[in-house]
Amino acid sequence: MKKKIALITGATSGIGKATALILAKNGYSIIATGRRKEKLDALKDELGAVDYLPLVFDVREREKVLDVLGSLPDEWKQVDVLVNNAGNAHGMDPIQTGNLDDWDAMMDINVKGLLYVSKAIIPGMCERKSGMVINIGSIAGKEAYPNGNVYCGSKFAVDAITKGMRIDLNPFGIRVVAIHPGLVETEFSLVRFKGDDQRAATVYKGFEPLVAQDIAEIIEFVVNRPAHVVLADIVVLPTAQASATIVHKTL
């Protein structure tokens, strides 16, 4: 029987790593990507005996992405599930004082990086007339919030691109899923606040946030639906969160 292959971008931490681990438990061979080679190497030990292909690249590097994913070894070419997860927020400033490098990073990683990876993988799915694409959006792609401007814009783009993908890939029977989490405690805020761990920690104080495993379990459920079922658009929040801006905290 052909092995089932999942490719997860941004699998060195957080949601991507938890997803790699849970899909491995579900019998998938795992292609995991990220920039931190040491983290991808460490993931091998946690994955155990499953077939594993770690790939180190920055999703912003268009030629590298297309080159690496375009020359996968034959036994890894037929990706069944693509999880476009790599992404982050950079900074949290009002639009009038926002940092251009932060804006470039968010649009280049969250939007263009997702597109480059998709460009490398989706044509093969079309040829085989099978596959599933899971894009990790955000509540920030459903509602703008103060000082979220460009990050929200990048995730609104993910939402729109996902909808467009679902339309274009409809004749090929490819299932396209968007998962839009609210607050998940990962390295996300540490990256957003540029290593300020005190500020990052305050984001998740006073309520119980989601954890990466919560999202991974949803992905596990999604990939295990029968072939005629697609969970197209999923918003998942911590119980304490009612919207992008309303979080019931007991501080």
Dump strand ranges (E) for 170-244. 175-181, 184-185, 210-211, 233-236
Which of ligand 8X3, ligand NDP, none binds 222 (CB below 5-8 Å, type-dependent)? none
Residue 34, binding choice from ligand 8X3, ligand NDP, none, Cβ under 5 to 8 Å by partner class: ligand NDP
What's the DSSP call for residue 74? Answer: G
247 forms part of the interface with ligand 8X3 (CB under 6 A): no
Binder of residue 244, out of ligand 8X3, ligand NDP, none (CB less than 5 to 8 A by kind): ligand 8X3
Q: Which of residues 41-100 bind ligand 8X3 (CB under 6 A)?
A: none
Amino acid at 35: R
- Which token pair is 160? 């729109």
C-alpha distances in Å from residue 135, one per residue of 16, 44, 63, 92, 237: 11, 24, 21, 23, 17
Q: Of 28, 116, 151, 204, which is the active-site residue?
A: 151
Instruction: Considering only the C-alpha atoms of the chain, give the largest distance between any 2 of them, rounded to a whole number of Å.
Output: 56
Which residues bind to ligand NDP, rule: CB under 6 A? 10-16, 34-36, 39, 58-60, 85-88, 109, 113, 136, 138, 181, 183-184, 186-188, 191, 212
Phi, psi for residue 208 in degrees, rounded to 5: -100, 105
What does residue 183 show for φ and ψ, rounded to 5 degrees? -75, 115
- Our answer to whether residue 151 is catalytic in this structure is yes
3 or 194: whose CB is closer to ligand NDP? 194
Sites of contact with ligand 8X3 (CB under 6 A): 138-140, 148, 183, 188, 244
Active site residues: 151
